């Protein structure tokens, strides 16, 4: 079974480890380069992206992460993890570093105060039935490069953010604005694990 790491510097690591384990992956936490080397795939969890980026630099993981992404490692970023994968951030703090690799512009804390955190059902490319999506001070994807596939958008309806992009894929990189590890079932992780197995 593939070894899939969960970056464990900060944020909601445990639910990802559990979900990956249920799907038959060998799930490990990653805090140091020697652990990253073992990974066939990597999850970047939600949390606080500025803190995670700073810790990645402190733990001397930022350059190794960039190198593995450049070499084609399958990576799935959720929420803050999506921000870490993005090539461009708007409303980031001026010195915020990312791992990068995903040709998107992400807006942090995009949904605004009134709808700070919310849950909804979303259509998601590759899944027959909608998924339950939990958004917590989530980013959205404001612009995508030519090679980026849109997997999911906020549905039409009363929501102010209707139509906003909240799921993307570019080759081995996948990202969601929301937290599929929080009560959304295992289907989105299953898409990622399948991609790791194919890689
Ligand atoms: N708002 C957080 C950030 O900008 C992300 C929130 C989350 O991961 N749930 O990093």
The pLDDT of residue 111 is 86
Q: Could you give the 3-state DSSP secondary structure of residue 88? A: strand
The answer to whether the CB of 21 falls within 8 A of the CB of 186 is no
Tell me the three state secondary structure of residue 176: strand
What is the pLDDT at residue 116? 80
The domains located in the chain, with CATH, are: 3-198 (3.40.50.880)
pLDDT at 9: 97
Strands 173-176 and 75-78: parallel
Q: Is 46 in the pocket of ligand 1 (CB under 6 A)?
A: yes
Atom from ligand 1 closest to the CA of residue 135: 9
Under a CB-based contact definition with an 8 Å cutoff, are residues 72 and 171 in contact? yes
Q: Whose CA is nearest to atom 1 of ligand 1?
A: 137
Please tell me if the CB atom of residue 10 comes closer than 6 angstroms to any atom of ligand 1.
no
Please report, in tens digits, the pLDDT of each residue of the chain (199 residues total).
Answer: 999 999 999 999 999 999 999 999 999 999 999 999 999 999 999 999 999 999 999 999 999 999 999 999 999 999 999 999 999 999 867 678 999 999 999 999 998 776 688 899 999 999 999 999 999 999 999 999 999 999 999 988 766 788 999 999 999 999 999 999 998 899 999 999 999 999 9
Site to probe by mutation for ligand 1, drawn from 47, 50, 90, 176 as the one with most ligand atoms within 8 Å of Cβ, is: 47
Cβ of residue 101 lying under 6 Å from some atom of ligand 1: no
* pLDDT for position 183: 83
Model pTM? 0.96
Q: What span, in angstroms and rounded, lies between the C-alpha atoms of 39 and 144?
A: 27
- Model pLDDT, residue 114: 63
Residue 80 is given by DSSP the state H
**Residue numbers annotated as active site:** 79, 179, 181
Question: For 41-80, how does the pLDDT look when each residue is reduced to its tens digit (9 = 90+)?
Answer: 999 999 999 999 999 999 999 999 999 999 999 999 999 9
Q: Is 48 annotated as a binding residue?
A: yes
């Amino acid at each position: 079974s593939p070894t899939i790491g969960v970056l464990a510097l900060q944020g909601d690591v445990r639910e990802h480890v559990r979900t990956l384990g249920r799907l038959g992956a060998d799930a490990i936490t990653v805090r140091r380069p020697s652990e990253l080397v073992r990974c066939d795939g990597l999850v970047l969890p939600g949390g606080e992206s500025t803190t995670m980026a700073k810790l990645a630099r402190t733990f001397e993981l930022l350059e190794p992460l960039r190198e593995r992404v450049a070499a084609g490692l399958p990576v799935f970023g959720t929420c803050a993890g999506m921000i870490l994968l993005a090539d461009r951030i708007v409303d980031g703090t001026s010195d915020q570093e990312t791992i990068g690799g995903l040709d998107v512009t992400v807006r942090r804390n995009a949904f605004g105060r009134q709808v700070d955190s919310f849950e909804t059902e979303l259509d998601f490319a590759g899944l027959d039935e909608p998924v339950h999506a939990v958004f917590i001070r989530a980013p959205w994807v404001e612009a995508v490069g030519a090679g980026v596939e849109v997997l999911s958008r906020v549905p039409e309806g009363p929501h102010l953010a209707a139509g906003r992009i909240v799921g993307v894929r570019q080759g081995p990189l996948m990202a969601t604005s929301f937290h599929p590890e929080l009560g959304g079932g295992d289907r989105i992780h299953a898409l990622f694990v399948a991609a790791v197995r194919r890689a």
